[in-house]
Amino acid sequence: MIPYGRHSINEDDIAAVVTALKSDWLTTGPLVEEFEAALEKIVGAPCISVSSGTAALHCAYAAIGLGPGDEIITPPITFIATQATAALFGATIVFVDVQPDTANIDPQAVEAAITPRTKAIVAVDYAGHPADLDELRAIADRHGIFLIEDAAHSIGSIYKGRPVGSIADVTAFSFFPTKNLTTCEGGAVSSIHPDLLLKAKRFSRQGLIRNPEEFIVKGEGPWHQEVHEFGLNYRLPDVLCALGLSQLSRLKDIKRDRDLVFARYVDAFQGSETVTLPAVRTYVDPIWHLFPIRVPPNSREGIFIKLREKGFGVQVNYFPVHLQPVFRKDTDRNQVFPNAEDFYGQEISLPMWPGLLDFDAGIFDAIAKVIRDN
Ligand SMILES: Cc1ncc(COP(=O)(O)O)c(C=O)c1O
């Protein structure tokens, strides 16, 4: 089975990990800061590394002090970590619809959903395509609320010439193996506000404070560290930062390969009347994490099953989150988001990863033929 996503690990990645394993540090050593500095160069704002994309979102919400009574506005087309990490702080999750073509959060719907309790707008860069960040930024600024970006899909993507990570107040990345670069499990938080990044960092490192100038308890020895707010252990170990550093140095190549896969699909589907290809705004340059096509809803399941039978490990991204039982038990289906539900009903994620280029070039036509014949 050719999976819908797969990591790209080369000999340099392996050598980097082996070197780290032979060093004095397995957990927090010099490679953590090195990786974070290298990330900053790509995403355009200071970063901290964490143990997953879920952890990154949890830290982002901790940084803005999310709590009971706060509302966040989110899109339904995402992985549930976008909402789960906020719900665990006691925040109320507000859903709004997505744009019908990109499946990214619709700024007009966001505007309409703002209340005095809204603490943040949370955009998700679906498939790697940045959300409408300028419009969302303007709404957030007008209402004095935060813009959080779930960029689990989009490290390295560019929005109007600016890298994802340098626009929202806080941005969360994932380095899961199917993503654009991997540290096995891993993630990062970037922020354009040093104070928010420090809060995210403390939360990810057990809340520990080691700077004597900030101590409340005085007169302890040089061993002393203290905690003013609870945190968790979301550290990314040195060994995985070694992998991340090596992967980051190849991000350009990874983008080139993902672009090529995208172009091969576009060629393969040329002239197709039943397949809708991913929309691309003129002002973005995404690194594609997914290749989400849309087909007529009455043929989606048949095509999906046929593709899997033929060995193409397709996926559907995503079952709209507002329909998950964890939300439905409260709302009992009194919320309808037509664009999100239509998108879900039509979507199939075709295989998208750099190694596809090592297969026979006919693979893309073969996938297109399975879909055409159904
Ligand atoms: C949109 C989105 N947000 C958050 C996450 C969570 O990332 P991780 O799997 O690294 O915890 C994912 C991962 O699949 C995702 O796709």
One domain for residues 89 and 230: yes
CA of 372 to the centre of ligand 1 (A): 32
**Total domains, the chain:** 2
| Neighbour-count burial of 16, counting CB atoms closer than 10 A to its CB (0-12 exposed, 13-18 middle, 19+ buried) | buried
One domain for residues 165 and 274: no
| Neighbour-count burial of 233, counting CB atoms closer than 10 A to its CB (0-12 exposed, 13-18 middle, 19+ buried) | exposed
Domain end call among 201, 232, 248: 248
One domain for residues 155 and 269: no
Label each residue of the chain as H, E or C: CEECCCCCCCHHHHHHHHHHHCCCCCCCCHHHHHHHHHHHHHHCCCEEEECCHHHHHHHHHHHCCCCCCCEEEECCCCCCHHHHHHHCCCCEEEECCECCCCCCECHHHHHHHCCCCEEEEEEECHHHCCCCHHHHHHHHHHHCCEEEEECCCCCCCEECCEECCCCCCEEEEECCCCCCCCCCCCEEEEECCHHHHHHHHHHHECCEECCHHHCCCCCCCCCCCEECCCCCECCCCHHHHHHHHHHHCCHHHHHHHHHHHHHHHHHHCCCCCCCECCCCCCCEECCCCCEEEECCHHHHHHHHHHHHHCCEECECCCCCHHHCHHHHHHHCCCCCCHHHHHHHHHEEEECCCHHHHHCCCCHHHHHHHHHHCC
Residue whose CA is at the smallest distance from ligand 1 atom 16: 79
One domain for residues 240 and 321: no
Q: Which two tokens stand for residue 55?
A: 């952890």
Q: How far apart are CA 81 and CA 150, in angstroms?
A: 9
Residue 315: which of 289, 354, 287, 282 has the closest Cα?
A: 289
CA of 151 to the centre of ligand 1 (A): 9
Q: Write down the pLDDT at residue 131.
A: 98
Of all atoms in ligand 1, which is nearest to the CA of residue 52? 10
Q: Write down the pLDDT at residue 189.
A: 99
One domain for residues 169 and 243: yes
CA of 211 to the centre of ligand 1 (A): 33
Ligand 1, CB within 6 Å, residue ranges: 52-54, 78-79, 81-82, 124, 150, 152-153, 174, 176, 187
Q: Which of 174, 204, 317, 349, when mutated, tests ligand 1's pocket best, judged by the most ligand atoms within 8 Å of its CB?
A: 174
Q: How far apart are CA 137 and CA 88, in angstroms?
A: 25
Q: Which of 4, 54, 57, 184, when mutated, tests ligand 1's pocket best, judged by the most ligand atoms within 8 Å of its CB?
A: 54
Please identify every stretch of the chain with a pLDDT value under 50, giving residue numbers as ranges: none
Of all atoms in ligand 1, which is nearest to the CA of residue 124? 1
Of all atoms in ligand 1, which is nearest to the CA of residue 81? 4
Of all atoms in ligand 1, which is nearest to the CA of residue 289? 16
Residue 130: which of 100, 159, 107, 172 has the closest Cα?
A: 159
One domain for residues 177 and 262: no
Domain end call among 248, 270, 298: 248
CA of 345 to the centre of ligand 1 (A): 21
Q: In terms of residue numbers, what domain contains 316?
A: 251-372
CA of 174 to the centre of ligand 1 (A): 6
Please report, to the nearest 10 degrees, the dihedral formed by the alpha carbons of residues 155, 157, 160, 166 taken in order: 10
One domain for residues 174 and 193: yes
Q: What is the CATH number of the domain that holds 354?
A: 3.90.1150.10
One domain for residues 286 and 194: no
Q: What is the CATH number of the domain that holds 12?
A: 3.40.640.10
41 is catalytic: no
Q: Write down the pLDDT at residue 334.
A: 67
One domain for residues 271 and 361: yes
Q: Which two tokens stand for residue 335?
A: 């919320």
The catalytic residue among 119, 160, 179, 218 is 179
Q: Write down the pLDDT at residue 374.
A: 86
